[in-house]
Amino acid sequence: MKKTDILTPIGLTLGFIMISFGIISSGGMGGFISFIQISSVVIVLGGLAAALLINFNLKQIKLTGKVVKEAFNKNEQDLAQLIGLFERLSERARREGLLALENELEDVDDPFIKKGVLLAVDGIEPEVINDIMSAEINAMEDRHQKGRTIIEKAGEYAPAWGMVGTLIGLVLMLNNLTDPSTLGPQMAVALLTTFYGSLLANLVFIPMAGKLEMKTEEEVFMKQIVIEGVIGVQSGQNPRILKEKLSAFLSEDMKKAQGTEDEEVVGEAANEAS
């Protein structure tokens, strides 16, 4: 079960709270209520839904819920743990041979890691392993891009439909110029659709698309490390050398943390020996 990326709901909640606070602090609850206009909501959301249905096919539309859900999920793969896994695999492969690695995979949940190690166990050439796994990464990026495009397009269409609603409101307002006292309220209502469209685009859709793109980049980065690890294990690299090679992907803070953990392990081993 994936963990929730709490920053996404926190960001959305904080954004709506700050906007609500700004409205209430300036106009009170009456001002806040004046920002609630059902007809404007219907124009923006209805027009947005219609535009997306025209732009995408049914198969892509069905992916929307899954794509949105992914923005609230957290990537669970830990880079330091991944490096530790390949260090253990390398040690066992050098000690017992590549065939012994099949038993090590029982506790591994990541299908990409399993596939790579099994290719190595089957004796596939390193270049072929790299080609196969890189092709899988490219396919994953393509799938993610298609899913993310729906959110990106929603970010483009929402402000446009807000403007459409505003134009509708302005036309209706100009048709009723006989009563000047109604111009102010009608203008406010007309502008609300632009507000709704801009709010959805800049607080929901565009940031969400950015989060999904960042998650894809992180996943690609992790999978590239997996490829390096698999090829290193297959080629019989020294576990320590392989660890140092993969540790090049770590940030300085992560390297320091890993170094501290290694020192603690060595210290515990020395204490047990004495």
For 103, other C-beta atoms within 10 Å of its C-beta total 10
Higher pLDDT, 111 or 273: 111
Q: Give yes or no: residues 21 and 98 share one domain.
A: no
Q: Give yes or no: residues 15 and 79 share one domain.
A: no
Q: Which domain holds residue 200?
A: 38-273
CA distance readout (Å), 197 to 40, 158, 203, 204: 9, 5, 10, 10
CA distance readout (Å), 169 to 161, 165, 172, 183, 191: 12, 6, 5, 11, 8
Specify the amino acid at residue 201.
A
Percent of the chain with pLDDT over 70: 91
pLDDT band at 267 (very low <50, low <70, confident <90, very high): very low
Q: Give yes or no: residues 144 and 28 share one domain.
A: no
| Ranges 31-35, 62-66, 215-219, 263-267: which has the least confidence | 263-267
SS3 14: helix
Helices 79-96, 239-247: crossing angle, 10 deg rounding: 160
| Ranges 103-112, 113-122, 201-210, 260-269: which has the least confidence | 260-269
d(CA 201, CA 195): 10
The answer for residues whose C-beta is within 8 angstroms of residue 251's C-beta and 6 or more apart is none
DSSP string, 85-99: HHHHHHHHHHHH-GG
pLDDT tens figures, 34-90: 888 888 899 999 999 999 999 999 888 888 888 888 888 877 677 888 888 899 889
pLDDT tens figures, 85-109: 899 889 988 888 888 888 878 878 8
Beta partners for residue 73, in sequence order: 4
**Residue 272 confidence (pLDDT) above 70:** no
Mean pLDDT score, 238-254 = 82
Higher pLDDT, 103 or 257: 103
pLDDT tens figures, 127-168: 999 999 999 999 999 988 988 999 999 999 999 999 999 998
CA distance readout (Å), 115 to 98, 101, 129, 207, 225: 14, 12, 10, 33, 14
Helices 239-247, 206-234: crossing angle, 10 deg rounding: 160
pLDDT band at 17 (very low <50, low <70, confident <90, very high): very high
Predicted pLDDT at 270 = 37
Q: Give yes or no: residues 6 and 110 share one domain.
A: no
Distance of CA 222 to the CA centre of its chain: 14
How much is the pTM?
Answer: 0.80
In the chain the first and final C-alpha atoms are separated, in Å, by: 42
Distance of CA 58 to the CA centre of its chain: 23
Q: Give yes or no: residues 191 and 254 share one domain.
A: yes
Q: Give yes or no: residues 11 and 60 share one domain.
A: no
Q: Give yes or no: residues 233 and 248 share one domain.
A: yes
Q: Give yes or no: residues 133 and 14 share one domain.
A: no
**Residue 236 confidence (pLDDT) above 80:** yes
- The first and second tokens of residue 135, run together, are 């092709």
| Ranges 8-17, 201-210, 263-272: which has the least confidence | 263-272
Residue where the block lists tokens 């609630």: 36
Predicted pLDDT at 64 = 83
d(CA 194, CA 107): 52
Residue 193 burial (CB < 10 Å; 0-12/13-18/19+)? Answer: buried
Q: Give yes or no: residues 90 and 217 share one domain.
A: yes
**Residue 274 confidence (pLDDT) above 50:** no
Higher pLDDT, 231 or 73: 231
d(CA 28, CA 26): 6
Q: Give yes or no: residues 16 and 108 share one domain.
A: no
- How many folded domains does the chain comprise? 2
Higher pLDDT, 155 or 5: 155
* Averaged confidence pLDDT in the chain: 85
Q: Give yes or no: residues 1 and 100 share one domain.
A: no
The answer for residues whose C-beta is within 8 angstroms of residue 160's C-beta and 6 or more apart is 197
Q: Give yes or no: residues 107 and 12 share one domain.
A: no
